[in-house]
Amino acid sequence: MRGYFRKLILNEDKELQSYVIGLALGDGNLSNPNKRSIRLRITCDAKYPLLVAKIKDSLQRLFPQNKASISPRKDNYYNVSLYSNRLKEIIPWQVNKGTKFEQKACVPSWIKENKNYAINCLRGLIETDGAIYNDRGYKMMIFTSIIPTLAEDFYNMVMSLGFKPHIYKIKPKKTEKYNYNQQDVYHIRLSKNVSAFLELIKPEKI
């Protein structure tokens, strides 16, 4: 049985891998609930049903012999999941080694060094931890993360495509009620040439 799992197919399409890595870095979680196989779970807001379906399809294409599934709706969110021990070959943090924040998860170098891979990774990051909105009639894009290495990677990838985002570090207000998860929050905002950027990245959230 162990040999069988090692032989399961991992799609070698680097653009697909880049996209799924972006999704995972944005709003993905690794676990090993059955102690046999790694589980990747990506959370998506239920108001984006086309994106939920797209995430499932992407995971299924990346691991064609494994089964991607969508959990029942809970608190207006869906979880898209897939089990595979080959996840450790591409996901840039490790299971059972702490959170993405604790492991300082970041975008792999091979993605950052290739324009097409960077575009696909940015698409996944924006579709999970990004937002597109209008401010006084102007379209804006913002990406949010508590992981400084990931925020820096996002900023640099957008810069490498010829756009000029701004990065802000926001220190949370400590209160008795919310005295946990008090990391700094990084916002990367693009306010100029946003339409051209979105036309290049083509995130599902538009």
Q: Domain-by-domain residue ranges, the chain?
A: 2-201
148 pLDDT higher than 80: yes
Give the residue-averaged pLDDT of 186-196. 96
What pLDDT is recorded for position 1?
42
Sign of the alpha-carbon torsion through 153, 154, 158, 159: negative
Report pLDDT for 156.
98
Percentage of the chain exceeding pLDDT 70 = 92
CB 201 within 8 A of CB 123: yes
- pLDDT score, position 182: 74
Q: What is the mean pLDDT of residues 6-33?
A: 93
Check whether 159 has a pLDDT greater than 90.
yes
| pLDDT, tens only, 43-88 | 999 999 999 999 999 999 999 999 999 997 777 899 999 999 999 9
CA 175/CA 36 separation, integer angstroms:
40
Residue with tokens 């012999």: 65
Q: Kindly state the average pLDDT of the residues 120-135.
A: 96
Q: How do 77-83 and 39-45 pair as beta strands?
A: antiparallel
- The CATH code belonging to domain 2-201 is 3.10.28.10
Whether the pTM exceeds 0.75: the reply is yes
Whole-number percent of the chain with pLDDT over 90: 81
According to the model, what pLDDT value does residue 178 have? Answer: 47
Specify the pLDDT at position 102. Answer: 93
Alpha carbon distance 130, 127 (integer Å) = 6
**Rounded mean pLDDT of 104-133?**
97
The set of long-range contacts for 52-61, using a CB threshold of 8 Å and a minimum separation of 24, is 52/78, 52/80, 54/204, 55/23, 55/80, 55/127, 56/80, 58/16, 58/19, 58/20, 58/23, 59/20, 61/11, 61/13, 61/16
